[in-house]
A and B are shown apart, each in its own frame.
Chain A
Amino acid sequence: MGLIFRRDVAAQPKPPIAVRVRSRWSPGRNWVLHVMVLPALILTVLFSYFPMMGIIMAFQEFKPWLGFGNSPWVGLTHFETLLAFPETRQVIVNTLVISILKIIFNILVPLVFALLLNEVRFGLFKRAVQTVTYLPHFLSWVMLGAILTDMLSIDGIINSTLVSLFGIEPIFFLGKSDWFLGTIVASDVWKNYGFSTIIYLAALTGIDATLYEASAIDGASRWQQTIYISIPSILPILIVVATLSLASILNGGFDQIYNLYNPLVYDVGDIIDTYVYRIGLLSGRYSFAAAVGLFKSVVGFVLIFISYRLAYKYAGYRVF
């Protein structure tokens, strides 16, 4: 198993005093530790494990007034519908396209940005750029959705600027399927690239300075140093980020999509999560929506497991 808890692996022999303390005090006092876990345990049972058991509704024709006990069983009907139905297949394809594009750009853009930022010698400027580019990460998609819908509209500031600069026709960014995908990926990258840079910057700061000094003496240019020192040095962390992002491949970003999409772009913009919400809670087809949700949870769980294994195998990364 890759998910081993570190401290237990590295358990060191305890000095005699600690042994005595443990044997005399701990057994009688452990109930306090159990009590400390209890509130979190109860809440997790209620809001995580009960819903997991509630998954049985995916195999029922769930009616809220009948409950889990009395709703009729339908076996795998909902899953057959899920796989046979063109609409659900389209939704799965959309989710994959959106999240794969997001994963690629959310890795490449912060990487390039971190390398560029790393070249800045003037500390104040560097910190200022970091401060403002991290900021959008903390603003919610509700606020940004409202702002972007306005800015990207036909008479919004972006179109009016483009029209006056290049004399082109206004672009319907959020209303045309072929523009929607690009707009979604670009705005997601815009929101998060600054924040994602942190991890690469930390890795870049950790590189041994003597490597650069030695290569400078050998006549390496800054570009060669970047190619042969900086990038190879942060490659392990890059692999970790890339493999771990595999786990989110069925997400696509509900908050963003739901606050930016509209029926005009459902053909490319409808993802699993928005679909589950619409057909489940808005149209009342609880069981079918739960089946789609279960499909996503199971595949997601398997992907998390695989990606953590890969990250551990290739980069020695452990989460816990």
Chain B
Amino acid sequence: MYDNSLTYRTFTVVNSAVLGFLGLLSLLPIVHTLAISFSSRAPAEAHLVGLLPVGFTVDAYVETFKNELFARAFALGVLRTIVGTAVSLAVIIPLAYALSKDNQSFKGRNIYAWFFLFAMLFTGGLIPTYVIVVNLKLINTIWALVLPVAVNVWNAILLMNFFRTSIPKALEEAALIDGANHFTILLKVYLPLSTPAIATIALFTMVTHWNSWFDGLIYMTDPSNYPLATFLQKLLVQQDLRFLRRPEDVANLTNRTVKAAQIFIAMIPVLLVYPYLQKYFVKGIVLGAVKE
């Protein structure tokens, strides 16, 4: 079935070259950042570093980790990721289970479904949400970063569809006859059979939390409460250094190699879970988007 003409073979060569180039282009910013972070200060400041370190040293990483502001922001980033993912899963899994029933066996199911669907499609917008979070006294607490984003309706729908299509109805009916209630069925029947789906959702939620910066910026008025993404946004993107307060921190955290080291450290958790993400997301996306 394959075309063996000279034109097609020429195309194959050109095509491979183009795709290889695009692949490299995707990695370029990461490699460049990595190279700067491992370079000596002088060549980095003079913009002499390309894709390989000049004057290899790990000083930038040592300095970054020694800085207590960075360490604190890093810890808060980890904390919000763990708490945020745990809370989100704890809310979404039972929701998806209940909504996976049909309207006959769970009266009110369709009303609930429309209730959540509408919340997904129509939002009050940034300002009213902000005012509500202020009025609930969540400002400067971790809950401002966890609770407003906990009910991710997309993930709930994804999981609901998985429950419906992949878990044999007979198992549930057998458990019901044996006297199990829905909690037991969810824990003992559904969860063990849905580890891949739940792992996918957990990983996506983790990456979203780790990368979230805007909620930290608006809900944390005290900079010592910034999670890492917000800390870096303020320091590296806005370059608003007033929040650092101590002059030595400004000096330590703003040289080019340390900046690069901070960016790379912030990417590491994403790079670590990426292979697992990749294993699952193809399936997950196709599951959610294309139905026969």
Q: Is B97 an interface residue (CB 8 A)?
A: yes
Q: Is A290 an interface residue (CB 8 A)?
A: yes
Give Cα A11 to B109, complex, Å. Answer: 14
A255/B214 contact (C-beta < 8 A), A142-B232, A190-B26 known: yes
Q: Is B94 an interface residue (CB 8 A)?
A: yes
Number of interface residues of A (CB under 8 A): 106
- Closest residue of chain A to B256 (Cβ to Cβ) is A150
A8/B102 contact (C-beta < 8 A), A25-B176, A134-B278, A155-B47 known: yes
- Report which of B127, B134, B148 forms a contact with A276, defined as CB distance below 8 A: B127
Identify the stretch in B1-9, B64-72, B191-199, B241-249 within 8 Å (CB) of chain A at 4 or more residues: B1-9
CB distance from B280 to the nearest CB of A (A): 12
In the complex, are the beta carbons of B3 and A139 less than 8 A apart? no
CB distance from A87 to the nearest CB of B (A): 17
In the complex, are the beta carbons of A37 and B128 less than 8 A apart? no
In the complex, are the beta carbons of A22 and B116 less than 8 A apart? no
Chain A residues with CB under 8 Å of B91's CB are: 39-40, 43
Within B188-219, the residues touching A (CB, 8 Å) are: 207, 210-214, 218
In the complex, are the beta carbons of A139 and B26 less than 8 A apart? no
A64/B134 contact (C-beta < 8 A), A120-B15, A190-B26 known: yes
B80-97 interface bits toward A, Cβ cutoff 8 Å, 1 = contact, 0 = none: 000000000011101101
Q: Is B61 an interface residue (CB 8 A)?
A: no
The size class of the interface chain B forms with chain A is 35 or more
In the complex, are the beta carbons of A37 and B23 less than 8 A apart? no
- Would you call the interface of chain B mostly helix, strand, loop, or mixed? helix
Give Cα A293 to B108, complex, Å. Answer: 32
B133-169 interface bits toward A, Cβ cutoff 8 Å, 1 = contact, 0 = none: 1111000000000011011000011000000100000
- Closest residue of chain A to B4 (Cβ to Cβ) is A222
Q: Is A310 an interface residue (CB 8 A)?
A: no
Chain A residues with CB under 8 Å of B99's CB are: 37
B contact set with A: CB distance below 8 Å:
1-3, 5, 7-8, 11-12, 15-16, 18-20, 22-27, 29-30, 32-33, 47, 50, 90-92, 94-95, 97-99, 101-110, 112-113, 115-117, 119, 121-136, 147-148, 150-151, 156-157, 164, 173, 176-177, 181-183, 186, 207, 210-214, 218, 229, 232-233, 236-237, 256, 259, 263, 266-267, 270, 274, 277-278, 281-282, 285-286, 289-291
A contact set with B: CB distance below 8 Å:
3, 5-8, 11, 17-18, 21-22, 25-26, 29-30, 32-34, 36-37, 39-41, 43-44, 46-55, 57, 62, 64, 67, 113, 116-117, 119-121, 125, 128-129, 131-136, 138-140, 142-151, 155-157, 160, 190, 194, 198-199, 202-203, 209, 212-213, 216, 221-222, 225, 237, 254-255, 258-259, 273, 276-277, 280-281, 286, 289-290, 293-294, 296-297, 301, 304-305, 318-320
In the complex, 17 of the A-B residue pairs with CB atoms within 8 angstroms, ordered by the A residue number, are A26-B105, A30-B107, A32-B182, A36-B95, A39-B91, A43-B91, A51-B129, A52-B124, A129-B23, A132-B23, A136-B26, A139-B267, A143-B263, A273-B126, A281-B127, A289-B126, A319-B157
Known contacts A26-B106, A37-B95; 8 further A-B pairs (Cβ under 8 A): A11-B102, A120-B16, A138-B207, A139-B267, A142-B232, A156-B47, A280-B126, A320-B117
Closest 10 CB pairs of A and B: A51-B124, A293-B125, A54-B128, A140-B211, A36-B94, A48-B119, A222-B3, A146-B236, A51-B128, A290-B127
